Amino acid sequence: MDISKTDILIIGSGIAGLSLALKLKDLGEITILTKKRAFETSTSLAQGGIACVMEEDDSFELHIQDTLAVGDGICKKEMVEMVVKSAPERIKDLINWGVEFDRDSENPKKFHLTLEGGHSRRRILHVGDYTGRAIENTLIERVLEVENIKILENFLIVKLITEDLLKPSRISGAFVLDLIHVKPVIFLAKVVVLCTGGAGKVYLYTSNPDTATGDGIALAYQVGCRIANMEFVQFHPTCLYHPKAKNFLISESLRGEGAILLNAEGKRFMHKYEPVKKELAPRDIVTRAIDMELKKTGAECVYLDISHLPSDYIKKRFPYIYETCLKFGIDITSQPIPVVPAAHYLCGGIYTNIWGQTDIPNLFAIGECACTGLHGGNRLASNSLLEALCFSHQASLKIKNMWNELKELKIKPPLIKETAVKEIKEEKIFISHNWDLIRKIMWDFVGIVRSLKMLEFAMKRIEFIKNEIKENWSGIYLDLDTMELKSITIVAELIVRSALQRLESRGTHYLIDYPFKREKYQKDTIIFKNF
């Protein structure tokens, strides 16, 4: 079996992985593995922007308070403070790498700041309505300029390799499938960093790219990392509702600039659910309000209307959304946009400390796959790109600090035989059917509003699929869909098990049997594997 050696192995090519590679570029050889093309990340799809205190009328204290309030009582304050206070420096990093945020048309010395739900001030830097794509493209360009950073596309990581394969121990690399040459490869590394993003594909409807199958979380769980707060799945209130549209987000910044929500009868409804903030209430509240309206009216979607604003302004401020909706026959300058909620962001993930370190020595996790404590029970809009940037900086400091020790580290190749890798023999329909089942179970029973009966029902079904996988497809298969099915099954199970443990309603986790918050309740829901 091919064995490759690298100093630092980064899994994932979104903002977390790319910015970390740039920060560590002088240390040694860095390899970034990505399972599809480098730009196929959640970062690329981020529209709204990145939050940072920029103006005199704003303060770190206000951004901290907004983050804590939306997080619904269980954010870790030290994490929130670190992120909010280091945001201006991290924005400078992006600008130095070449990201050009939109400027204020009246005062080009200043940036144009937009507003989103839960923010008490305008503090979101953006590049039109395609901020993530602008950041992703710029960072890929910078990374490609550095000789000792390699991006390898179409490499799927299927197993983390630890020194002792049978108990939690130091990381020494990863077992990977080269999807183009259809063969296994071992990558040995002194440090491995999971930047694999979220798990929206666990749900039938999601704003996430196809790559968001929670691989990093499933892998980290299997080697003994603690996984935290998986019950907190954030549903974005407004994804385009159209039979041909797949995962197209209608950014919250439309509401920030004045768009209103209408039900199927053409009536505004948000004041009934949140009389003060209305459309700009935190996402969980807006999402549940839409869910309630859909259930009440029996309609398939609600509408987001920005057509009262000048048409030239809409086209200039939201060019990507305008063009995309037009392709589907919707002119947003004159028509309301049909929208529905969809799974958007996982607030939980691999439990990490303030340096991005996991429970496994030399294994880090950054970005959506991590649970740092910043988001608590619900993420404040536009805090996600920021979290990835801040924690990649933190991890870079820690890795530099450890480097002398790591340089001397001798890594032994693991005892994995090539024969451990198998090919799918039967029809792939068995795999695709289980994919569809998991996503439907999660959407129907572990969605915006949950009940214990629904969660138990979902658990039984997921356990059945898990056993079927164990009986028929245990081990490593040279097939992306099969290996991703294993990831989504593990992640779905972790979400349901966590949801069953949190007997209260908080943040994005709404349980009809326990509709209130409990005062004295656990902060984190932790799950780990028993070896």
Contact set with ligand SIN (CB under 6 A): 46-48, 249, 251-253, 345, 381-382, 384
Q: Which residues contact 528 (CB under 8 A, 6 or more apart)?
A: 221, 224, 225, 226, 227, 359
One-letter amino acid for residue 208 of the chain: N
> Angle at CA 432, nearest 5°, toward 428 and 434?
120
170 as an active site residue: the answer is: no
Q: CA nearest 330: which of 348, 318, 347, 342?
A: 318
- Dihedral sign from CA coordinates of 246, 251, 252, 257: negative
Given the complex with ligand SIN, which of 7 and 252 has the nearer CB atom?
252
Q: How far is the CB of 239 from ligand SIN (least distance, A)?
A: 10
Q: CA nearest 462: which of 484, 480, 442?
A: 442
Given the complex with ligand SIN, which of 155 and 345 has the nearer CB atom?
345
Asked if residues 234 and 384 have their Cβ atoms less than 8 Å apart, the reply is: no
- Please give the structure tokens belonging to residue 246: 């797949």
Q: How far is the CB of 48 from ligand SIN (least distance, A)?
A: 3
Q: CA nearest 366: which of 155, 83, 163?
A: 83
Q: How far is the CB of 236 from ligand SIN (least distance, A)?
A: 6
Which of 90, 123, 283, 506 is catalytic? The answer is 283
Given the complex with ligand SIN, which of 189 and 259 has the nearer CB atom?
259
Given the complex with ligand SIN, which of 31 and 253 has the nearer CB atom?
253
Strands in 113-114's sheet, in edge-to-edge order, are: 50-51, 124-125, 113-114
Residue nearest to ligand SIN (CB): 48
Given the complex with ligand SIN, which of 43 and 434 has the nearer CB atom?
43
Q: How far is the CB of 274 from ligand SIN (least distance, A)?
A: 17
Q: CA nearest 381: which of 306, 302, 300, 277?
A: 277
Given the complex with ligand SIN, which of 188 and 249 has the nearer CB atom?
249
User: Which DSSP string do the residues of 82-136 spell out, in sequence order?
Assistant: HHHHHHHHHHHHHHHHT--PPBPSS-TTSB-EE--TT-SS--EE-STT-HHHHHH
- Give me the active site residues, please: 283
